[in-house]
Amino acid sequence: MDNNISDIYLDNAVNTCPCCGAKITPVYLTHYSEDISELDIATYYVICKCPNNSCNEIFFVKYKGEYNPRNGLYGIEYDLTLQDVDIYPYSFPDDYFDKFIYEISPKFVETYGQSAVAENIGLNKICGSGYRLSLELLIKDFASFLRPDKAQEIKSDTSVANVIANQIPDKDCFKEIKDIAKRAWWLGCDSTHYETRYKDHDINDLKECIDITVATIVFYLKREHYLKTIQKNP
């Protein structure tokens, strides 16, 4: 591989600095590539630099490229399709969750982000526990938001299942939140056990259930916000 290939395709692999979070076109410094296999797939290891003057940090990009032949002006030419892009150091996006979630449960956002970092660097045996903890924080913070007079009781309750069942009101508007939060909690607990019960579900299903729980909470919070702030003109 010549130097230009990494330079050309790096822009498609990276558009955000993992150190400062700025949108960037990375500065290519150098690279190493493994030999192309029989399947015309090569692995590239690229060292980059953030062009942002307030950052200028060095970071590392690893990705696989699959060469796809096509007829070009001067014979066979190859297009490179990127696969399995990994960036180090990995940072969790600051804007991943809705602002309402940041407001009611900043500890959830922080813990979920740390769990995502652990998963990204291959700590698959511990990230499930982190996601489970983040879910506990979210559920307790949301229940405390709904019932501020019982916030201390909710946060000290050792049974998250009890918080879901008894501290989030049994009203139609909360049914979807409670139904999916229970299932997210079951999977979260399962990820911390020696023997798992949910054999057909993994960490991706846990994250999906957490994301759905977040989405249903955001829907409720936004609806309540606009019902209160937009009134009929007299």
CB within 8 Å of 88: residues ≥ 6 apart:
18, 59, 60, 61, 62, 121
- Residue 24: what pLDDT? 86
For the chain, the residue count is 234
State residue 39's pLDDT score: 54
Which pLDDT belongs to residue 106?
96
- Quickly count: other Cβ atoms within 10 Å of residue 158's Cβ: 6
The predicted pLDDT at position 221 comes to 96
Looking at residue 78, its pLDDT comes to 60
Per-residue pLDDT of the chain (234 residues; tens, 9 = 90+): 344 444 445 656 677 888 887 888 888 888 887 765 555 677 888 888 999 998 999 998 887 766 666 676 776 666 666 666 778 887 787 788 999 999 999 999 999 999 998 888 888 889 999 999 999 999 999 999 999 999 999 999 999 999 999 999 999 999 999 999 999 999 999 999 888 899 999 999 999 999 999 999 999 999 999 999 998 887
> 71 to each of 6, 67, 193, how far by Cα in Å?
22, 13, 55
Task: Provide the pLDDT for residue 200.
Answer: 93
Q: Which helix (H) or strand (E) holds 68?
A: strand 58-72
Q: What is the pLDDT of residue 83?
A: 64
Residue 8 pLDDT? 47
Q: With residue 49 as reference, give the H or E element that holds it.
A: strand 41-49
What pLDDT sits at residue 165? 96
Rounded distance, CA 23 to CA 161, Å? 41
Transcribe 75-128 into DSSP letters.
Answer: EEEEEEEEEEEEEES----TTSS-HHHHHH-HHHHHHHHHHHHHHHTT-HHHHH
Give the per-residue pLDDT at 77: 64
